[in-house]
Amino acid sequence: MVRGRPAVLLGLLVILAAVLAAVLAPVLAPYDPNAQMFDGLTLEGAPLPPGGAYLLGTDLLGRDLLSRLLYGARTSLIIGIVANGIAVLIGAVVGITAGYFRGWIGTALMGFTDLMMAFPALLLAIVLAAIFHPSLWIVALVIAMVNWVQVARVLYTQTSALSEREFVVSVRALGASDGRILWHHILPHVVPTIIVWATLGISTTVLLEATLSFLGIGVQPPTASWGNIIFENQTYFQSAPWLVFFPGICIVLLALSFNLVGDGLRDLLDPMQKGRG
């Protein structure tokens, strides 16, 4: 996958760095991410710029920005993986079930899917996040609830086509049960699609979490999140731009890296993609 693809290799390295930062945050972080340092502000009460004892500077409360970014990587990765994992699971169950059984079951499931797709994902996420008390796991669940529909639609189309293939018709004629057909003959053909969506979707969930946190209805302070770091410090954008730039570049790099790796997996697992573009 990475041979002759430096962009994919770069994406893997960035993801690995983010995972290591998240896992080793207690070791790598020079300070407690929520500790307000007595020397973390200037005499005028402004954040300290990067350099010196605080490598990336401090925020408006005198907290070390590097420490908060390292712990924020945990939040982004946990939500990205958990939310996207739930979304892919729901989408796979709905899409494969509707595509295989069709009839009134498929009509009902895909009708509900189309209804969910009619609502703007961000608006629906904002409404759900506002209804429930935002926390790390609630935000992950909310994001999953708005992101499963694309997976369901793609897998429905693929499963519908597979159900008409000769090998499926043959095993059905031989008396194979629906469960056996789904497990042994349908699922192996859609697993590559599921893997690709499981990778590409993480970037979407990371961006959506950052958006919700920036709007103040995502992960709540003092828990560090790249989105709420920007939200908390946006008023200092002109006087202390590093408070917005550093978390912003972290979000962009992580989302871009998952997209690059997802594209590489798609080319590797889907023969139809090889040789294109």
- Segment 83-94, tens digit of pLDDT: 999 999 999 999
Least confident range from 4-8, 167-171, 197-201, 251-255: namely 4-8
Does residue 156 surpass a pLDDT of 90? yes
Q: What is the per-residue pLDDT for 153?
A: 92
**91 within 8 A of 194, measured Cβ to Cβ:** no
Q: List CB contacts of 231: < 8 A, sequence separation 6 or more.
A: 213, 214, 215, 216
Question: Could you read off the pLDDT of 216-259 as tens digits, one per residue?
Answer: 778 887 888 888 888 888 888 888 888 999 999 999 999 999 98
Residue 275 phi/psi, 5° resolution?
90, -5
Helices (runs of H) and strands (runs of E) counted in the chain: 11, 0
Question: Could you read off the pLDDT of 15-62 as tens digits, one per residue?
Answer: 999 999 999 999 999 999 998 888 888 877 788 889 888 899 888 888
Q: List CB contacts of 256: < 8 A, sequence separation 6 or more.
A: 11, 14, 203
- Long-range Cβ contact pairs of 129-138 (< 8 A, separation 24 or more): 129/212, 129/217, 129/218, 130/217, 134/212, 134/217, 134/218, 134/219, 134/220, 135/219, 135/220, 136/75, 136/78, 136/79, 136/219, 136/223, 137/82
- Domain segments of the chain: what residues? 75-272
Q: Which fold has domain 75-272?
A: MetI-like fold (1.10.3720)
Does residue 6 surpass a pLDDT of 50? yes
Residue 227's nearest CA partner among 199, 255, 201 is 255
Tell me how far apart the alpha carbons of residues 179 and 162 are, in angstroms, rounded to a whole number.
Answer: 15
pTM for the full predicted model: 0.84
Q: Work out the average pLDDT over 131-153.
A: 85
Does residue 271 surpass a pLDDT of 80? no
